[in-house]
Structure 1
């Protein structure tokens, strides 16, 4: 099947817009302080709603990915959009922590994972010639959600309160996702755009044949990749979960200015997914990952010294750029390593690393903040150290690949 019979760019556009809606997850820190002020919960208790959502996203992706690999993405995306929209609307009726956990955390997380598994995997299958760029663009929709929704949510909260804001946005998500689902088409097996021939592998690529989830889990490379993904997400999710409180409590910014910083963070997160996806097509996925780890580690260390607005924004954006890059590249890394045929389910399993990072990053920051009376320094330094480990694991992966290639050639 060729590009003439299916407009793959419309499929990409629909995926971007749908992911923009579910990307409201990255605006969580804007909602957190108003919820704490309204209900007098602790930071750790309130953060658990975001953590629950992060944990359930990859689990939902695994189930939804398997269904869409067999049945196609359209109805799965539609169903996920309904669950997500109802979860956000439900959060608007919050009267207890358990209710917030069930709506924003459980329903929201299941809805995000169901939608995300299909938009990413299906779109990547339509772009075998531009895998890095396409995955970067479609996941950029997810990252860009907070660019629009952080300042919008802040304005709505100021005018109507946090609970009414959840209700308004939840209805909007239901409408937009349902409309965009009509543009979704299923990528045919082995899809190639007209006139394109797959290039031969190079020294910077790590390629593999199509593997199902069982075969992927039996490959040692999976566990190295999973660990790299986990480390690549810890710093970003730590900062995304606490950017607004850090801005207000450490840098002494107003709530509106802190929300603006969250918007800058989200903008960099979005740009990183596109930029590093494009770069990875040029210099190789793993070379790009190493650069991102080095930059992220330096920025997490620098964050321990920042006390004013401009450096704070610069560091936030650099961390967001690197986190976005990891998110943008990994669908392509998964397809490169284990094939595109079963990408929906395989990437869902790989994505459990994101869920684990969603536990480690935000909770680690909240823990050290509370025991150190508002000081996040220890959490930032641990995240910087993890970035060093990420560089080492990436070198190990490339070394093992070269060694395996040498044995094949012998």
Structure 2
């Protein structure tokens, strides 16, 4: 473009920092046990707040994606930050389950989705030359929040209690998001970085034409991708939602060590988004997803066998690495298949798969834990079995992609 373009790396940095704040929601399992101990609620009752929060993210993404197209990302991200921070602060005044569900569940979920769709869609548009890496980095910010916040939250909970911790962190998130929003710029239409020209189409890569959400929903590939995304998130969300209780009740770790395990899980989640985003640029999106399903399925089966710290950490971090990879690669898969023009809304719709996984994964774990007197193994085995279905769906998606390339070459 002839006019001076915004600094895309600064915009990427702001997106990473903003997503770190909303990504603190991945540290939920650190808050769960203190809430259970304080109010004497059951695991099923308390974990529903986490399920609500993540389950509402896709709805907010679809709505916010539409507003972003009309008003730009800056304003939408700011108000998303206000909603999210209000939910965290409000959780600090919890006196009942319904209040916890409304604050941490509903408000946080709506705030996360509002922010996430804008930071991801807008940033990816600035990096047509490094789409996989850029989407991996910006969603890595979302995952990395818990790396810092899990041990910090545990320390604050011990010093001030869980409710005061919510209040303190909520105020901090509001300040950080508001400041970082000032750096956000709207991606120009058909943005190209200086000196870069799109490569010629090849059989190794097929870039989808721009489709709106209606056109996307009549494409059978959408439903294959939706199923892949759901299954790819189930294992990770199951473990993330219960990591601290599993560490304390199954592996017999103390609360501080369990919080550190959550932090390492978040670190693997973060690394997976960057690593697999880069790998997918090299070996192809579907090849990368196939490897992730194989690893995740093997690790969820291995989770039924571990009973000591080091094997537990190895399994935990591998699951986090694969889950992060799925989250990092799917914005690029969506853009590759359905174009970048309507990515905010389209990815929000595909992200409903994440909402389904947010219900399935954590609820499976809490259900079988209570049904089997604290034993999570049945849930782990079901998750491992789902990974096999994920592998089959990925094979179908690869076949359809190759068939599409062959048809295009014929013309």
> Is TM (by shorter chain) over 0.5?
yes
- Asked if the contact 1:204/1:285 (under 8 Å) is kept, the reply is no
Q: Does the CA contact (< 8 Å) of 2:140 and 2:274 recur in 1?
A: yes
Q: Distance in 2 between matches of 1:204 and 1:368?
A: 43
Cross-structure match for 1:249: 249
Determine the C-alpha separation between the residues in 2 that align with 1:95 and 1:268. 34
Which runs of structure 2 are paired with 1:165-180 in the superposition (5 Å)? 165-180=165-180
How far did residue 4 of structure 1 move? 4.5
Residue 201 of structure 2: aligned partner: 201
Distance 1:382 1:126 in 2: 39
Deviations along 1:356-408, one digit per CA (max 9) or x if unpaired, are 00000000000011111111111101111111111111111111222233334
Matched residue, 1:218 = 218
- Compare 396-405 and 179-188 and name the one that shifted more: 396-405
Aligned with 2:195: secondary structure? coil
C-alpha separation in 1, matches of 2:129 and 2:3: 12
Deviations 1:330-350 (A, max 9, x none): 111111100000000110001
- CA distance in 1 between counterparts of 2:12 and 2:181 reads 11
2:25 corresponds in structure 1 to: 25
Deviations 1:50-101 (A, max 9, x none): 0000111110000001111222100000000000001100000000000000
Question: Partner residue of 1:237?
Answer: 237
**2:267 corresponds to:** 267
SS of the aligned residue for 1:183 comes to coil
Could you tell me how far apart the structure 2 residues matched to 1:117 and 1:335 are? Answer: 13
Q: Are residues 1:191 and 2:174 paired? A: no
**1:53 and 2:62 are equivalent in the alignment:** no
Q: Deviations over 1:5-45 (max 9, x none)?
A: 21000000000000000001100000000000000000000
Is 1:78 the counterpart of 2:78 in the alignment? yes
State the alpha-carbon separation in 2 of the partners of residues 376 and 210 from structure 1. 43
SS in 1 for 2:235: helix
Given that 2:206 and 2:405 are in contact with CA atoms closer than 8 Å, whether structure 1 keeps it comes out as no
3-state SS of the aligned residue for 2:56? Answer: helix
* Structure 1 match to 2:44: 44
The size of the alignment, in residue pairs, is 410
> 2:8 maps to which residue?
8
Contact 1:143 1:267 (C-alpha < 8 Å) held by counterparts: yes
Which residue number in structure 2 is paired with residue 160 of structure 1?
Answer: 160
Q: Please state how far the C-alpha of 1:3 moved relative to its aligned partner.
A: 9.0
Alpha-carbon distance in structure 2 between the residues aligned to 1:201 and 1:290: 23
Contact 1:2–1:194 (CA under 8 A) maintained in structure 2: no
- Aligned counterpart, 1:284: 284
Counterpart in the other structure of 2:325: 325
Please, which runs of 5 or more residues in structure 2 have no aligned partner?
A: none
CA distance in 2, matches of 1:12, 1:69: 19
SS at match of 1:197: coil
Name the residue aligned to 1:377: 377
Q: Supply the distance in 1 between the matched residues of 2:27 and 2:222 (Cα, whole angstroms).
A: 31
Q: Secondary structure at the match of 2:394?
A: helix
Q: In 1, are the aligned partners of 2:203 and 2:405 still within 8 Å (CA)?
A: no
Q: Work out whether residues 2 and 191 of structure 1, in 8 Å CA contact, stay in contact via their aligned partners in 2.
A: no
TM-score w.r.t. the length of structure 1 is 0.99
> Is residue 279–residue 288 contact of structure 2 (8 Å, CA) maintained in 1?
yes
Between the aligned partners of 1:2 and 1:100, the Cα distance in structure 2 is: 51
Residue by residue over 1:137-175, the C-alpha shift from the partner in whole angstroms, topping out at 9 and shown as x without a partner, is 000000001000000000000000000000000000000
